[in-house]
């Protein structure tokens, strides 16, 4: 453990230790970024919006919006070396502003807790489907049979709650062990394992006989499908896919060694995240086309369409089990990062041990998650505002809290922090620093505001007036 006091050079050290290497940090943030939505959403959104044309716009948005926000969040985290709430308060005071910036950190921590409360339930589904796949439940089942399996599972709140409990227990276990013994050891195993599983499944997909069709669906440029809505979809995907705006990257940045390049690490994460999403698409769509299924099924692609495809193919039991194991790993690495900021805050604010803090935060998230568990069965008819409890949590966090968090983070890094502070963290290396400063101050905030207005429906409302 390292002291939380400032060193003689004015640099702070994290109370929680630090990543042992640049690679450990990249694996951790990549694990955070690669989640369930990343596996299914990017490929089908790309296919629906012009394939290769959408991918080009998406890559531009990652560079112009995603990267500047990620770099901003990491530099703030490393500068403060505390949990997101304390970091924003500390740096806000240092930069000559009021400590009210702590509320931006608090919103990020709260967003992580709320997201994990329902994300854990979905993570529990993936665990359940590992066992269902392994038992051969999907073999030779038609669409009606697989839909019935899903509906029976979701309709039994006790079973859904059980897998939610298992998933949260696994997450608590890793976070309780700390940065090096918990987070780092977990991602050093799970992210490479995720990649190995993807490559194995890619080989299976290539042999399906429809690989060219899947490749064409994702990458053939069709600029006629590229509309303003497609551009906004690319902007939104670029922002959400990197796990930014909710304090997780800021918390991980607090453990980043001083000599590690923030720009280089951010680029490595963006490349790894996009590559994994692309690989997932090349795994999924050839299987979908091989079985004459609909590639635009969205979330249903994972829990209905793909089990149906695997159930009709040779070796389907083994490879469907691998696929849901892959999803479970993706969910687990993301869950760890969602929980870390709140645990770090509890350790620092109330002097709790890691184990105590992880258990307290984990149990709170587990209890909150029961609302999502019941949203699919007992309380499915209980609707308000945007729908069920799950619908409201999803809308509040994804459409409101994360975009606002992203805007405030870039405004803080680009406008509130002085040039000396940001250049000290990023390295005042001429053009790279100047480019980040322009993107963080102008391009990224404006882009995220458009994403926010689109997500809450204001953009459509204004365009119809």
Q: What is the pLDDT of residues 2-58, one digit of tens each?
A: 334 443 334 789 989 999 999 999 999 999 999 887 887 888 888 888 888 999 999
Query: pLDDT grade, residue 299 (50/70/90)?
Result: low
Q: What is the mean pLDDT of the chain?
A: 91
Token digits of residue 266: 């951010």
Note the helical H segments in 351-430: 354-375, 389-394, 402-411, 419-426
The interaxial angle of helices 52-61 and 211-219, nearest 10 deg, is 50
Q: What is the pLDDT of residues 374-386, one digit of tens each?
A: 999 999 999 999 9
Token digits of residue 78: 């490393």
Provide the 10 A C-beta neighbour count for residue 202: 16
Taking alpha carbons only, the member of 390, 260, 273, 274 closest to residue 333 is 273
Token digits of residue 333: 């690495």
Token look-up 């990549």 returns: 30
Q: List, in order of start, the domains of the chain with CATH numbers.
A: 22-463 (1.10.4160)
Taking alpha carbons only, the member of 450, 457, 448 closest to residue 409 is 448
In angstroms, the Cα distances linking 109 to 106, 249, 297, 435 are 5, 11, 32, 29
Q: Which pLDDT does position 429 carry in this prediction?
A: 66
Q: Is 385 exposed, middle or buried (0-12, 13-18, 19+ CB in 10 A)?
A: exposed
Lowest model confidence (mean pLDDT) among 125-129, 169-173, 246-250, 302-306: 302-306
């Amino acid at each position: 453990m390292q002291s939380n006091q400032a060193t003689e050079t004015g640099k702070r050290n994290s109370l929680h230790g630090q990543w042992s290497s640049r690679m450990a940090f990249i694996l951790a943030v990549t694990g955070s970024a690669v989640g369930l939505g990343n596996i299914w959403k990017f490929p089908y959104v790309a296919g629906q919006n012009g394939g290769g044309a959408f991918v080009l716009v998406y890559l531009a948005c990652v560079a112009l919006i995603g990267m500047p926000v990620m770099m901003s969040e990491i530099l703030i985290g490393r500068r403060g070396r505390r949990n997101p709430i304390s970091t924003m308060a500390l740096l806000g005071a240092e930069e000559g502003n009021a400590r009210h910036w702590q509320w931006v950190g608090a919103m990020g921590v709260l967003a992580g807790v709320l997201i994990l409360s329902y994300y854990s339930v979905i993570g529990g589904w993936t665990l359940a489907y590992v066992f269902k796949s392994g038992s051969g439940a999907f073999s030779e089942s038609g669409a009606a049979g697989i839909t019935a399996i899903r509906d029976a599972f979701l309709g039994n709140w006790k079973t859904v709650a059980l897998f939610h409990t298992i998933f949260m227990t696994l997450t608590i276990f890793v976070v309780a062990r700390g940065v090096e013994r918990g987070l780092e050891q977990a991602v050093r195993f799970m992210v490479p394992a995720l990649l190995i599983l993807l490559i194995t499944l890619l080989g299976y997909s290539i042999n399906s006989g429809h690989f060219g069709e899947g490749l064409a669906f994702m990458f053939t440029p069709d600029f006629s499908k590229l509309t303003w809505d497609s551009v906004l979809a690319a902007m939104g995907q670029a922002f959400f896919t990197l796990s930014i705006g909710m304090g997780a990257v800021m918390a991980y940045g607090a453990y980043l060694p001083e000599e590690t390049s923030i720009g280089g690490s951010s680029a490595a994460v963006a490349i790894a995240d996009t590559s994994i999403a692309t690989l997932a698409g090349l795994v999924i769509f050839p299987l979908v086309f091989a079985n004459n299924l609909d590639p635009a099924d969205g979330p249903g692609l994972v829990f209905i369409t793909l089990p149906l495809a695997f159930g009709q193919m040779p070796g389907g039991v083994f490879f469907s089990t691998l696929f849901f194991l892959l999803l479970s790993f993706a969910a687990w690495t993301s869950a760890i990062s969602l929980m870390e900021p709140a645990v770090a805050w509890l350790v620092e604010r109330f002097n709790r041990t890691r184990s105590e803090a992880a258990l307290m935060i984990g149990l709170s998230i587990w209890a909150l998650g029961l609302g999502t568990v019941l949203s699919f069965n007992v309380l499915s008819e209980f609707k308000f505002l945007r729908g069920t409890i799950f619908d409201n949590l999803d809308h509040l966090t994804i459409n409101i809290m994360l975009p606002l968090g992203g805007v405030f983070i870039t405004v803080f890094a680009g406008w509130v922090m002085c040039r000396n502070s940001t250049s000290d963290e990023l390295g005042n290396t001429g053009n790279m620093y100047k480019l980040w400063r322009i993107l963080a101050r102008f391009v990224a905030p404006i882009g995220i505001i458009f994403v926010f207005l689109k997500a809450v429906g204001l953009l459509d409302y204004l365009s119809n007036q």
